Amino acid sequence: MSTYSDTLRAFLAEGVTHADLADSIGKTQVAVTRYAGGGRFPDADTARAIEAATNGKVPFALWRSEFEQRSGLAA
């Protein structure tokens, strides 16, 4: 199963720059780099913004699933 950061990295590998994505979600390039590298996990609002900016290629549902697993809320 791909992680949220794996999926985000794959999207960025398609040619979108970290700076362009950062601009479209209102975050810094450093933040996007950390999300893609797995060093930081975005909050829900940011994950929704990423979903919108990527036209669903980095889905919020994947973020939610990983969030639930990380927080122990997964069934």
Residue 66's CB: how many other CB atoms inside 10 A? 19
Average pLDDT over residues 30-44: 96
Rg (CA), the chain: 12
Residues ≥6 apart with Cβ < 8 Å to 22: 28, 29, 31, 32
Q: How many domains does the chain have?
A: 1
* CATH number for the domain that contains residue 24: 1.10.260.40
Whether the pLDDT of residue 35 is over 80: the answer is yes
Residue 70 has a pLDDT of 86
Whether the pLDDT of residue 17 is over 80: the answer is yes
Domain boundaries, position 10: 4-71
Q: What is the mean pLDDT of the chain?
A: 94
Whether the pLDDT of residue 27 is over 90: the answer is yes
Whether the pLDDT of residue 75 is over 80: the answer is no
The per-residue pLDDT for range 45-73, each reduced to its tens digit, is: 999 999 999 999 999 999 999 999 888 77
